[in-house]
Amino acid sequence: MKTLTLFLIFGFIANPNAPDQDDFLFLADVLTIVVGFFCIIGITVIGVQYLTAPQNSPKLRQAKRHLFEVIAGFVIYALIYALMHWLFLIFG
C-alpha cells in the first residue's frame, strides 16, 4: 500500500508491483494534511500582515491579494482531491 509513497519520497520502489488505488488514496491523504497545514500557516501570516498594514497602503492590497491566492489554491486542491476520489469511485 505504501509502495508509491516510498517511491515518491525516497526515489526507489520497494515492491515491483504496480501501485494500486490504495497507494494513490494514501498519498492524497498525506498531501491533504500537508496542504492544510501550509494553508493555516499562510492565512495566519497574512492575517498578521493585514492587521499591521496602515489603511489604504500597498501592503494592505498585497495582503488581500495573498489571502485570495491562498484560498484559491486550497479550493483548487480540494476540487482535484474530490475529482480523484470520484474517478476512483467510478473506475476503481
Residue 63 belongs to a domain:
yes
Does 61 reside within a domain? yes
Average pLDDT over residues 7-29: 67
Residue 32 lies in a domain: yes
Domains in the chain, number: 1
Residue 13 inside a domain? The answer is no
Please, what is the Cα angle at 36 between 23 and 63, to 5 degrees?
145
Instruction: Residue 5: name the closest of 38, 36, 19 by CA.
Output: 19
Residue 67 is assigned to a structural domain of this protein: yes
Q: Show the domain range for 75.
A: 24-91
Is 8 inside a domain boundary? no
Q: Is residue 17 part of a domain?
A: no
User: Residues 20-75: pLDDT tens digits?
Assistant: 777 788 888 889 999 999 999 999 999 999 999 998 899 999 999 999 999 999 99
Does residue 3 form part of some domain? Answer: no
Count of CB atoms within 10 A of residue 90's CB? Answer: 7
